[in-house]
A and B are shown apart, each in its own frame.
Chain A
Amino acid sequence: MSRNSGLSQASRDPKWVQWILIGITVGFVTLLLILPLGVIFWEAFRKGLKTFTIALSDRNARSAIGLTLLATAICVPLNMVFGLAAAWATTKYSFPGKSLLISIIDLPFAISPVIAGLMLILLYGIHGWFGGVLQGFGLQVIFAVPGVVLATIFVTVPFVARELIPVMQEQGSEQEWAAISLGASAWQTFTKVTLPNIFFPLLYGVLLCTARAMGEFGAVSVVSSNIRGLTNTIPLQIDALYNDYNAPAAFALASILASLSILTLLAKSWLESRIEHRSKESEEIQ
């Protein structure tokens, strides 16, 4: 109700106020978001499709794409499992230090990615706590592919959990209790009651996590050895190419990364409309 009265209040604003506000928003978005994104694509294709395809058929470019997809493929499922477990633990159980735990999950949001990278070096570097032991097994973590994956996981830890916790908090445990009292097993309760309720927020978290995992630069740059074709992810390779005076190739790769992000964004908007749709439906039922 209050939302509706707010709306009619706003629509009573003079026309010129409305136009100025719309103008500011559209201008801002165009200047700061659409234009830069457009420039990337324009630069990528400026010298023709051929330069673009040559840039992408480069061995190191493909390796960078491969490594980014690998890191994302490892990071996102892990994050999903962790996010589910964390959300479940913090919303269905009560234990001492719960709110502290929820805050700690948020830590990677607050910590600068550079510091995240340095922390990984302190732990897994050759002089680090675990580095010597791992080296003994012949496993190089920092300045190798596992370090890149670890850094990606670190910076994306909160994404799924952050989406799920508020939803699961709001839903409470009544439906689960009902299922259990009707004789459902714990697993049945989870798969048939809990998961369908949180499916969309879960997917939403996964998408955000994917976008961040693909785009991470800071933390990965600290722990990568900057070896092309080996430990460069797409963002690192873009930076390296740009510093090589190879702007066309840098922008070609940048346009690939931007396309992946735009796809993620589109999927996110579609999900949002689905969520709205569903919540309207459930309101109507009530």
Chain B
Amino acid sequence: MDSTPWFADRYRTTGAILVLMSFLFGSLAGCGPSSDASRPGVKRQLKNVSYDPTRELYTEFNEAFARHWQETHGETVEFAQSHGGSGKQARAVIEGLDADVVSLALSGDIDAIAEKANALPATWQQNFANNSSPYTSTIVFLVRKGNPKRVGDWGDLVQDGIEVITPNPKTGGGARWNYLAAWGYALSTQLGDLKKVKDPAESAAVAQATEHAKDFISKLYANVPVLDTSARAATNTFIQRGIGDVLITWENEAYLALREAGTDQVELVVPSISILAEPPVAVVERNASGHNNLDLATAYVEHLYSDEGQRIIAKHFYRPRRKEVVSQEDLKRFAEVKLFELTDIAANWKDAQETHFKDRTGVFDQVYSSKAQ
């Protein structure tokens, strides 16, 4: 066999690859977080870990903030923007993803970061205005063009023969808002006014309404053919795969889907009552100060409340907190809807989590597993 010459060649190649590899490893080792003191002309990095549907919002907001910071401080800011299911993202920050800022779907997820990783104080929600939620949203429906199944309100979703698309409330942040909006609707049909929920004198009526709401939720989720893991996945199921008659989703996600799929495919239906969703934003103080980014991260969150920030928020179909700085044209797009708050139907997120989404004992697991039997 004439193997020697070609083999010698191959060996040299392998050697070259090994050298290259050690070089790559060397350069990787240099990739660790580096922190410079803030000076003009310096490049700084900010990591914002967020949930799925905010991608378009933060892409534009980050550019605006980078311009603002360049003008006011003369420093260049580069962004690392991460998106995923809200619960998954919180988990990643707890496990060491070094976010300077988190902007998640619900305060319960940031509470978990405060509690399990001690990365920010438990009172984080008081650090910024409006419960640290610079924007709000609500839950609406998308239906097929012409609304062939005549869906107008929550009550229509439990009819026989209606297929409802909503993600699994145990894995998705938006999915929990969907669930709680339906829960609040069911309570309100029995009680008339959700204020009665916390009125001790009405406890008998509330107990009865709660039973009714459990029944409603059970029927609603019995109509769900595909229980996706996140809001975006559910949108894809409804729009791209064409499954289901109704999609329950974030208002901003619905508008985005409307723009992508076109108004000749789907249309928006606003229910009579829905929940006020407050997606919160927080500075992860331990990481931000570790990167010498505390000033930058705080300014970043504050900028969300600025005139410019609020306008970008409204443009991307999130409801702004300061309506006065937003153009009438953008405001007109948000339908008038009666909104109730999470605190109307639960003490706080922790309570809502325990009551509804806890493994086995939570209402969702009980009604959903009884459906399976």
Residues of A participating in the B interface, judged by any CB pair closer than 8 Å = 70, 73-74, 76-78, 80-81, 121, 125-127, 131, 135, 137-140, 142-146, 149, 191-192, 195-196, 199, 225-230, 240, 242-245
Contact = CB atoms under 8 A, between A and B. Distances in A.
Contact of B1 (A146, A196, A229, A240): A196
Contacts of A126: 95-96, 117
Contact of B96 (A80, A135, A137, A242): A135
B4 A192 contact: yes
Majority secondary structure of chain A interface residues (helix, strand, loop or mixed): helix
6 contacts: A77-B18, A78-B21, A143-B95, A192-B3, A226-B84, A245-B257
B17 A144 contact: no
Most interface-central of A125, A127, A137, A143 (chain B CB within 10 A): A143
B10 A199 contact: yes
A242 B95 CA distance: 27
B21 A73 contact: yes
B232 interface: yes
A139 B14 contact: no
Nearest to B95: A125
Taking residues whose C-beta sits less than 8 angstroms from the other chain, chain B's interface range is 35 or more
Contacts of A70: 24
A145 B31 contact: yes
Given A70-B24, A140-B32, A226-B83, A191 B95 contact: no
B204 interface: no
A96 to B, nearest CB: 32
Interface in B166-224: none
B267 interface: no
B55 interface: yes
Contacts of B117: 126
A137 B33 CA distance: 10
Nearest to A70: B24
A131 B98 CA distance: 13
B329 interface: no
Contacts, number: 88
Given A127-B95, A191-B11, 15 more contacts: A80-B14, A121-B95, A127-B96, A131-B96, A135-B96, A139-B32, A142-B97, A143-B96, A143-B97, A191-B7, A195-B7, A199-B10, A226-B83, A227-B47, A227-B82
A78 to B, nearest CB: 7
B82 A226 contact: yes
A199 B7 contact: yes
Contact of A125 (B11, B82, B96, B233): B96
A240 B59 CA distance: 14
Contacts of A245: 256-257, 260
A139 B29 contact: yes
A240 B21 CA distance: 29
Nearest to B47: A227
A196 B3 contact: yes
B5 to A, nearest CB: 11
A127 B98 CA distance: 13
B98 to A, nearest CB: 6
Most interface-central of B1, B18, B96, B236 (chain A CB within 10 A): B96
Nearest to A127: B95
Interface string B1-26: 10110010011001001101100110
Contacts of B10: 199
B32 A243 contact: no
B347 interface: no
Contacts of B129: none
A143 B93 CA distance: 9
A142 B17 CA distance: 25
B83 A77 contact: no
Contacts of A243: 52, 232-233, 236
A77 B224 CA distance: 48
Given A143-B92, A225-B92, A73 B80 contact: no
Given A140-B96, A143-B98, A227 B80 contact: yes
Contacts of B18: 77, 81
B137 interface: no
Nearest to B24: A74
Contacts of B372: none
Nearest to B3: A196
